Amino acid sequence: MIWAKAEGCRVTLSDGRELLDLTGGFGVAALGHRNPRILAAWREQEVVHALGDLADAEVTVRLREALPWPAKLGVTGEDAVEVALRTAGLATGRTRIVAFDGAYHGTGLLALAATDFDHFKAPWRDWLPGPVDRHPYGADPGRLPGDTACVIVEPVQGRAGSRVPPDGFLELLRARCDEAGALLVVDAIYAGLGRVGELWPGAEVADVLCVGKALGGGIPLSAALFVQRGLAELWELGPEDVYTHTHVGNPLACAAALVLLDEAPALLDRVRELGDRFEQAGWHGRGLLRAKTGSADDALARGVLVVPAGVDGSLIQATPPFTLADDEVDEALRLLG
């Protein structure tokens, strides 16, 4: 499949076929493809690339100031998870990770160790860090081992198929981490920035909150947000940043992020309203992170883009732009049945 054009909630393929897009590019296009304000923000930038951790562009500084907590910026969502897990190691001097079934945190080795998709892990199993304890998502893991560095959890599981935990689950994990002196890492890469009807889901209990996907408006950008005071200072390890990338804090991505942070709060009610429409049609999940049993190939044949989801791939997932119109929802639900 080759995309030739993407505008709003529509995608045109190279063969000329137009599709209704319920993927938002894996949730990245939260404000719609080619959002006019984001395009304008990109055109206004007089610096399109600076020097990563050595020199920020002015817009990168403005983004850091606009975020509600100190942040270490990354490029991919996996970067933010990597930073969060390493922060737990720096804070505790421990290595054990507690994670959950159905978890997806990325494919770098440390994040992959916490991930629970075996086909991603199998070729590299001998290289994976650990130890990692895994528990059923939504269940009390019990008293944590004394060498636990952190618990990592998604507030709503994304790739596993929009799985919503029971009420009080995150608060229970907070209590378990406090008992053990461990950090709680909330991976809101997929669920955050309004996707589930909250801007910062899990922030009320997190030590580190990870966001990404929609943050850069289509240009890779992520952030590990240090909700707990003092964690950012743990990264002051010498004159040179010991975890960085060439494209950290890319000015175009940061310009888009400022637009998203300005617009997303006003769209939260709309996200919840649209989520209710999907709920009534049999899609489980929260907000606009939705899934149901189905075939992505069948949906494509009907003119709708969705992505496969679920540990066994038996689900289809909808993560559309927040700008999805009522008639587009009607069209999608009619076409998908």
Cα within 13 Å of Cα(266), Cβ side: 7
What 3-state class would DSSP assign to 74?
strand
Q: What is the pLDDT of residues 63-78, one digit of tens each?
A: 999 999 999 999 999 9
- Is a pLDDT exceeding 90 seen at residue 337? no
pLDDT number for residue 207:
98
CATH topology assigned to domain 3-35+266-336: Aspartate Aminotransferase, domain 1 (3.90.1150)
- Is a pLDDT exceeding 90 seen at residue 240? no
- Is a pLDDT exceeding 90 seen at residue 182? yes
Which residue's structure tokens are 């590990």? Answer: 224
Give the chain's mean pLDDT: 97
Q: What is the pLDDT of residues 144-173, one digit of tens each?
A: 999 999 999 999 999 999 999 999 999 999
Q: What are the sequence ranges of the domains in the chain?
A: 3-35+266-336, 41-258
Q: What is the pLDDT of residues 73-107, one digit of tens each?
A: 999 999 999 999 999 999 999 999 999 999 999 99
Residue 145 and residue 122: Cα distance in Å, rounded? 26
- Is a pLDDT exceeding 90 seen at residue 188? yes
Interval 235-250 mean pLDDT: 92
pLDDT number for residue 307:
95
Q: What is the pLDDT of residues 270-312, one digit of tens each?
A: 999 999 999 999 999 999 999 999 999 999 999 999 999 998 9
- Is a pLDDT exceeding 90 seen at residue 138? yes
Q: How confident is residue 52, by pLDDT bands cut at 50, 70 and 90?
A: confident
Which residue's structure tokens are 């990597």? Answer: 82
- Is a pLDDT exceeding 90 seen at residue 53? no
Whole-number Cα distances in Å, 147 to 216, 227, 251:
36, 22, 40
Architecture of domain 41-258: 3-Layer(aba) Sandwich (3.40)
Residue 205 and residue 98: Cα distance in Å, rounded? 16
